[in-house]
Amino acid sequence: MHELSLMMGIVDQLRKSAAENNIKKISKVMLVVGEMTMAVPDALQLAFEAFKEEELFQNAVLEIRKEPVRGECKDCHHNFGVEDFAFVCPNCSSPNVRIASGRELYIDYYEGD
């Protein structure tokens, strides 16, 4: 449900940037969504549809790149894929693990004319 409010922030940023870059029509938006964010790709797609009446977004395709959850051990610096959200280093068993990726939520780029 909050995907709509997230999408409002996303289209705001796109409108602003498009105006600055003199872009009238956006053809593609690349959004990066980490797997440990609470944004559901399908719901984001649906929310994006709500803005399709606007000329800027009429022909725009939203693409979503998912980032898997990875951890980095603070003790032995091992970088690993986190499974089932268990933040324990498979190399040295330390629980001292930083989230290296999976928390991303940003617009990577967009294309347009």
Q: Is 11 in the site for other proteins (CB under 8 A)?
A: no
Give phi and psi for 42, each to the nearest 5. Answer: -60, -40
Q: If you write DSSP's letter for every residue of 23-47 in order, what string do you get?
A: ---EEEEEEEEETTSS--HHHHHHH
CA-nearest of 44, 60, 35 to 10 is: 44
Out of Zn ion, other proteins, none, what residue 11 binds, judged by CB under 5 to 8 A for its kind, is none
Out of 19, 61, 76, 86, the only residue in the binding site for Zn ion (CB under 5 A) is 76
CA-to-CA distance for 110 and 2, rounded, in angstroms? 22
Q: Is 85 in the site for other proteins (CB under 8 A)?
A: yes
Q: What's the min distance (Å) between Cβ of 82 and Zn ion?
A: 13
Give phi and psi for 96, each to the nearest 5. Answer: -80, 75
CB–CB of 72/79 below 8 Å?
Answer: yes
Q: Is 6 in the site for other proteins (CB under 8 A)?
A: yes
Q: Is 94 in the site for Zn ion (CB under 5 A)?
A: yes
Q: Is 47 in the site for Zn ion (CB under 5 A)?
A: no
Which residues of this chain interact with other proteins, rule CB under 8 A? 1-2, 5-6, 9-10, 12-13, 17-18, 21, 23, 27, 31, 36-39, 84-88, 95-96, 99, 105-113
